[in-house]
Amino acid sequence: MAQLNYNHLRYFWMIAHEGGLTRAAARLNVTPSALSVQLQKLERQVGHPLFDRVGKKLRLTEAGRVALDYADTVFKTGDELLNTLRGRSDLERKALRVGAIPTMSRNFQLEFLRPLIGREDIELVVRSGSLRDLLHDLDALVIDVVLSNSPAPQDARSALRSRLLKEEPVAIVGRPGLGPFRFPMDLDGAPILLPSLGSELRTAFDRLIDLAAVRPVIMAEVDDMAMLRLLARERRAYALVPPIVVRDELENGLLEELHRIDGLAERFYAILQDRQFPNALLQDLMPSSGLRAD
């Protein structure tokens, strides 16, 4: 069996981290054409293209992203060997890259990631952004999964799959002392804090109060659930949130759940891309049982 040529692997590793042949060639003190030949040899050996050629730019393929993760580990191991022999041992670590939209409950994110939290062999990378930007990063293999309150847009050519992870009830909450509450009539003319327009939760709530001919006074519209939670603590106003978002405040008596709204739910999705080499750590977070494609 042919063995992997680690010189070729290092050349690929340098190209990926430098962002192109020219810069990598300058670092390695070789010509770009010679470097390209070595890259082609590695691609033939592994049996997959490692880059897509987009004009003059190189973009990692899915196989290239997997190869880069392994190459990072391989060359980091050399550093770890030196550190070990010098009395400074490091643990080999795997990475999981997660994207989450701002409206995603921090408490839910914590529950989702809990099986990996505290493991010293794992590095968690969590970034926030718009659904559009995060799906772009997912397509570019920069992140492994996107957490969202809505499924990914679908078309006939889409390689995205949306997995419904959980449905959470939604409630009207407020600071202690707001008194007895009748839904929806007590919202008429009352101050309220709401998720921003465009969210599925806000759309469903607006439909309910329109049917009831109720007009609350909107004090704030927030697309970040963490900020909505803080505002609910500070303002003497009603707030529309899934109780999981304000779980700590409910337990500590800073907020009260006044009414749970039947038929209204917040949904939490994991959006994945069909990949030949998915990140194995996702199996620890999303076992096959209890999940369904949406």
pLDDT in tens, 202-232: 999 999 999 999 999 999 998 888 899 999 9
For residue 288, the tally of other CB atoms under 10 A from its CB is: 6
Same structural domain for residues 273 and 140?
A: yes
Beta-ladder partners of 253: none
The burial of 208, by beta-carbon neighbours within 10 Å (0-12 exposed, 13-18 middle, 19 or more buried), is given as: middle
The domain that holds 101 is classified in CATH as: 3.40.190.10
Q: How much is the average pLDDT of 5-33?
A: 88
State which of 51, 86, 121 marks the end of a domain: 86
Residue 211 domain flag: yes
Report the half-sphere exposure of 268 (CA within 13 A, side-chain side).
24
Same structural domain for residues 162 and 275?
A: yes
Q: Is the pLDDT score of 90 beyond 70?
A: no
Q: What is the pTM of this model?
A: 0.65
- Cβ(103)–Cβ(199) under 8 Å? yes
- Treating both helix axes as pointing N-terminal to C-terminal, what angle do 21-28 and 32-46 enclose, rounded to 10 degrees? 110
The structure tokens listed for 224 are 């970040």
Residue 293 domain flag: no
Residue 196 domain flag: yes
Residue 290 domain flag: no
State which of 31, 62, 86 marks the end of a domain: 86
Which DSSP string corresponds to 197-237? TTSHHHHHHHHHHHHTT---EEEEEES-HHHHHHHHHHSSS
CA distances from 252 to 86, 114, 236, 249 (A): 50, 22, 17, 5
3-state secondary structure of 160: strand
Q: Is the pLDDT score of 269 beyond 90?
A: yes
Same structural domain for residues 235 and 207?
A: yes
Q: Is the pLDDT score of 200 beyond 80?
A: yes
pLDDT at residue 87, rounded to an integer: 59
- Cβ(115)–Cβ(284) under 8 Å? yes
Same structural domain for residues 67 and 184?
A: no
pLDDT at residue 191, rounded to an integer: 95
Same structural domain for residues 131 and 273?
A: yes
3-state secondary structure string across 86-102: CCCCCCCCEEEEEEECC
Same structural domain for residues 14 and 82?
A: yes
Residue 292 domain flag: no
Same structural domain for residues 77 and 210?
A: no
Same structural domain for residues 103 and 81?
A: no
The amino acid at residue 45 is: Q
If one compares 154 and 272, the residue with the highest pLDDT of the two is 272
Average pLDDT, the chain: 85
State which of 86, 104, 137 marks the end of a domain: 86
Same structural domain for residues 135 and 281?
A: yes
pLDDT at residue 102, rounded to an integer: 82
Report the half-sphere exposure of 20 (CA within 13 A, side-chain side).
6
Same structural domain for residues 71 and 210?
A: no
| Domain count along the chain | 3
Same structural domain for residues 226 and 279?
A: no
Domain limits for position 114? 94-166+269-285
Residue 291 domain flag: no
Tell me, what DSSP letter sits at residue 187? G
Q: Is the pLDDT score of 93 beyond 80?
A: no
Residue 216 domain flag: yes
Same structural domain for residues 236 and 276?
A: no
Residue 34 domain flag: yes
The domain that holds 72 is classified in CATH as: 1.10.10.10
41-45, long-range: CB within 8 Å, 24+ apart, which pairs?
41/5, 41/8, 42/5, 42/8, 42/9, 42/11, 42/12, 45/2, 45/4, 45/5, 45/8
Q: Is the pLDDT score of 172 beyond 90?
A: yes
